A and B are shown apart, each in its own frame.
Chain A
Amino acid sequence: MKDILLLLLSTALVNNVVLIKFLGLCPVMGVSKSMDSAFGMGLATTFVLTLASAASWMLDNWLLQPLGLGYLRILTFILVIASVVQFTEMFIKKSSPGLYQSLGIYLPLITTNCAVLGVALLNVEQHFGLFKSLLYGFGSALGFTLVLLIFAGLRERVALARVPAAFAGAPVAFVTISLLAMAFMGFSGLNV
């Protein structure tokens, strides 16, 4: 039990996938304009990341390694991730059309979210078991959602603030997220 909590804490906060490993920055910049769509995007990415890290672990351990096909890892992982994303898209389109509308183009773009592929590859590197890689994916997704929500909240405030014309829009967003990244570096002092 302690193991599980520590793994979740270390993936979500200490080794945060967005702010420490700098993976998956595109959706963080793109979908963080409002809390609602950020929450939806976080949920969709959590679903995809968790499922994809489990599926890629199974493929790697039951198909690629027994056959000695480690060099096809990236190709197969991309294939699996793309299918999981496609499935998620169909599911969201059916279950909540409003969320589907607000996520727009960023939903299919989860396929090319490097955080998803990155976490799957890191899982292989660290020789985790199935349950642990599932947790690793889930923890990373939690960290991703957390950063996305915090950043969306910050941007909603910044949008109302008086920003110098040269900094308005994307520049001030980049400044904000760099400050957020520095704040998250503080978690590396956490003794886990």
Chain B
Amino acid sequence: MLIAIFALAALGAALGMLLGVANRLLRVEGNPIVEELVAIMPGSNCGQCGFPGCTGAAEAIVDGSAAPTCCPPGGKALAAAIAAKLGLTLDLTAIRDEGPKIATVAEELCIGCCRCSKVCPTDAIIGAAKQIHNVMREACTGCSSCIETCPTEALVMKPVPVTLQHWVMPKPALA
């Protein structure tokens, strides 16, 4: 028993080391700008932009075949950040953006069918079959993939609720 555990652990460690060394030697340098863009994108690979995942969208933005505004969950803030990174000028007023939104479940409509939790790219929807589901606010990226799958329209996008942790005092308005 102990011999078996030790032998397999040693084998796994040796193979892991080998692959680690190979990874160093055979590393392929990607485009650093693409990697920077991927780092600031939502990273949930929701596919609303029409590209295969956030990496595909970042590559398309860098080579100019997609606009920096192509990411719906990222909204205005992301478009501005990408434009600043690439040195582009953008007309941000054209983007309709009502601030960040997340999905919420209307408890009285949810039938617990689990369809929404299957499509959620970040596993933000919890709840078992025939139990009322709920969305974890911290995990939801607002990609709205789940909205269309809900048979009872219990899922709606709502603005992120203001909590004590991220409430900011509004700027004084002109009289």
Contacts and interface: CB of A to CB of B under 8 A. Distances in A.
Interface of A: 59, 63-64, 67, 69, 72, 75-76, 79-80, 83, 86-87, 90-91, 93-94, 97
Given A91-B22, A93-B26, 11 more contacts: A63-B7, A64-B7, A67-B3, A69-B4, A76-B11, A79-B8, A79-B12, A87-B18, A90-B19, A90-B26, A91-B26
B25 to A, nearest CB: 9
Contact of A63 (B11, B12, B15, B19): B11
A67 B4 CA distance: 8
B7 A87 contact: no
Interface size class of B (residues with CB under 8 A): 10 to 19
A52 B8 CA distance: 17
A158 B7 CA distance: 51
Given A69-B3, A94-B26, A83 B19 contact: yes
Interface string B1-43: 0011001100110010011001100111000000000000000
Interface in B106-134: none
Contact of B15 (A72, A79, A90, A91): A79
Given A90-B26, A94-B28, A83 B18 contact: yes
A87 B8 contact: no
Contacts of B27: 94
Nearest to A68: B3
Contacts of B15: 79-80, 83
Nearest to A87: B22
30 contacts: A59-B11, A63-B7, A64-B7, A67-B4, A67-B7, A69-B4, A69-B7, A72-B4, A72-B7, A72-B8, A75-B8, A76-B8, A76-B11, A79-B11, A79-B15, A80-B15, A83-B15, A83-B19, A86-B19, A87-B19, A90-B22, A90-B23, A90-B26, A91-B22, A91-B26, A93-B26, A93-B28, A94-B26, A94-B27, A94-B28
Contacts of A72: 4, 7-8
Contacts of A90: 19, 22-23, 26
Contacts of A93: 26, 28
Contacts of B7: 63-64, 67, 69, 72
Contacts of B8: 72, 75-76, 79
